[in-house]
Amino acid sequence: MNRRGTTAVAAGGLLALAGGLAHALPAATVLPTVRLRWFPRLSGRGAPDHVALTFDDGPDPASTPAFLEVLAAHRVRATFFLLGRMVARSPALAGELVAAGHEVAVHGWSHRNLLLRDPGTTYRDLARARDVIAAASGRPPVRYRPPYGVLTGSGWTAARRLGLRPVLWTCWGRDWTATATAGSVLATVRAGLAGGGTVLLHDSDCTAAPGAWRSALGALPDLLAGCAARGWRVGPLAEHFGTGQGPKTQCQADITQSVWRR
């Protein structure tokens, strides 16, 4: 190979390396230490008197209605990051979420790691999910959370093209495991939660251990009560990124005794 050919091969290798880095580097935000320190908005940091409550992997007719009942009883709304394939199976349930005042958002079509997907496949996955969610719920989604919290360069670009804003989380309940309990979920969330945080739970076990959603459901009443006792409003991401004090929910007005430190 002559010098010109060698140079071309080297240049091609550098371009491939640059493309690979551009694709993979944003995935570093899956690490809490990275996103919480350097990307607070992406991590879901919002108004200090507010906590955003979010659920992934639904809608699931076997479990989501139970979460809606608890949220309705506490007069709390949330953001549901929906999988397109789950919406396609239960489109009416997506409509029920919006009718109840909840926010719907995109979690992709299927729960696959974006690191393993090329730009074209990533875009088609997000676009397909966005369209089916909008059609079923009557509300075009504006937020996106990648499966496993792994945001790639291709995922970021696709989301921007589709008018979707990526949002991860500040704390979670580890409620997808077979050993999770209501107590373990509550303790795990509580350890990382502060005013302005975004909580990640799951209202479906379609990508988790069978029945795992029951641990999140069991933790939810005490989680809401604990937030209310600390003066934190709980609601969807749609109202999370403002500033200043908002009106208290009925849950806050009714609760006079903290259950946060049980």
Using N-to-C axis directions, what is the helix angle for 91-99 and 64-74, rounded to 10°?
10
- DSSP letters of 35-87? HHHH-HHHHT---TTEEEEEEEEE--TTTHHHHHHHHHHHT---EEEE-HHHH
Residue type (1 letter), 195: G
Which DSSP state fits 212?
Answer: T
- Phi and psi at residue 249, to the nearest 5°: -75, 165
Between CA 191 and CA 187 the distance in angstroms is: 6
Using N-to-C axis directions, what is the helix angle for 91-99 and 119-137, rounded to 10°?
60
Q: Could you give the residue numbers annotated as active site?
A: 56, 202
Tokens at 20, concatenated: 């690979």
Using N-to-C axis directions, what is the helix angle for 182-192 and 213-229, rounded to 10°?
50
